[in-house]
Every structure is written in structure tokens, then in C-alpha cells.
Structure 1
Amino acid sequence: MIINSILGLIITLLNIYSWLVIIAALLSFVNPDPRNQIVQFIRSLTEPLFEFVRRKMPFVVVNGIDLSPIVIIFGLNIIIAILQSLMI
């Protein structure tokens, strides 16, 4: 029972992070004011993982297009599916 609650919380947090990754990817297209606190907050949460993926998988940047958000969302969806299968 407690384990299901913990897994549910982790899944919810991973879903929120997935949305933050999507928002960060969309923000890269509109080039918002970098001094905006919301933009800084979203980038501070997502950019470290983007950088990690770019370092470990340099092929995710193709012709100047950064595909690391797609890789991250794919990975998060796999983790979420595994956690959901563990729930009773």
C-alpha cells in the first residue's frame, strides 16, 4: 500500500518533469527573455539533463537541431511504464 503511494508519487513527478522538458523544448523555438524567472527556473531543471544526454550521446545534435528532449522524454516514458508495471 505504501509502496503504491510512493510509486504513484514518483510517476507523478516524472510526468511533471516530462512536461517541463516539453516546455523547455518549445521555449527554445521562441527565444524568450533569459532574465525571466520562469524561464530560468525551467532551464535550471532541464538543462543539466540535456547537457548530460548531449555529452553521452553526441549524435543527438543533428544539423544544429538538438534532439536530446526527445531522447529524455522517451527514456522517462520507459521508466514510467516500468514503475506502473510494478504497482499492484
Structure 2
Amino acid sequence: MFVIGNFLGALATLVDFALSAYMWVIIGRAIISWVNADPYNPIVRFLHEITEPALSRIRRLVPIFGGGLDLSPMILILALIFLRSFLVPTLQHLARSMG
């Protein structure tokens, strides 16, 4: 049973890292949107391609406010923070209970 506990502990660590990294990618995308970045730059294209699927889903639900204020990155960051504070501790607790 300790093997499953170790697996869940490792999974919790990976999920925490992935959610944290994606949050920083979202922040990078938001910062790049404030400046006139070259849309053909490979980094800009990567940030756009990796974040646009999630952001476009949020934009369908939440309208863009007057003046072009897009709240979808902030909403996605809040969702990622929620997942990090709920999912990761839950997996860690399960890992400890099985270990």
C-alpha cells in the first residue's frame, strides 16, 4: 500500500509544479499582451498557443469589459490557485494516509 502512497505523493508534487508553471506562463502572456510584441517571435507564439485554449473558454463565459479589459487571465490564475490549494493538499493527504 505504501507504493500507492508514494505514487500519490509524487503525483501531488508534479501537479503542484505543473499548475505553478502554467500560472507563470499565463502571467507572461498577460505581460506580453501589454507591450507591442512581435507576433512571429517563437516565444510569443508559444505563449499564445499554450494559453489560448483555456483563455478562449473563459472569454466565452465572461465578457470583455469596456476599454478592452480582458479578465480571463486573472480568472484562470484564480482557478489555478484554487486547484493548487485544493487538489495538491488532497493528494498529499491521501498519500500520507496510505503510507
Normalising by structure 1, what TM-score?
0.92
Q: Verify: 1:31 aligned to 2:36, yes or no.
A: yes
Count of matched residue positions in the alignment of Structure 1 and Structure 2? 86
Provide Cα deviations, 1:39-86, integer angstroms capped at 9, x if missing partner: 10010001111111000222xx11111010000000000001012321
Q: Verify: 1:11 aligned to 2:23, yes or no.
A: no
The structural deviation recorded for 1:9 is 0.2
Alignment map for 1:5-84 (pairs within 5 Å) = 5-58=10-63, 61-63=64-66, 64-84=68-88
Of 3, 7, 19, 1:2 maps to: 7
- The letter of the residue matching 2:65 is V
Bigger strand share? 1
Provide Cα deviations, 1:24-50, integer angstroms capped at 9, x if missing partner: 000000120000001100100011111
For 2:19 and 2:89, the matched residues in 1 are separated by 15
Q: Is the 2:39–2:45 contact (alpha carbons within 8 Å) kept by the matching residues of 1?
A: yes
State the structure with more CA Rg: 2
Structure-1 residue corresponding to 2:96: none
Structure 2: 5+ residue stretches without partners: 1-5, 94-99
Q: Does 1 or 2 have the higher relative contact order (CA < 8 Å, sep 6+)?
A: 2
For 1:57 and 1:66, the matched residues in 2 are separated by 9
Q: Is the 2:15–2:88 contact (alpha carbons within 8 Å) kept by the matching residues of 1?
A: no
Detail structure 1 runs of 4+ shifted over 4 Å in the superposition. Answer: none
Structure 1: 5+ residue stretches without partners: none
Identity over aligned residues, as a percent?
34
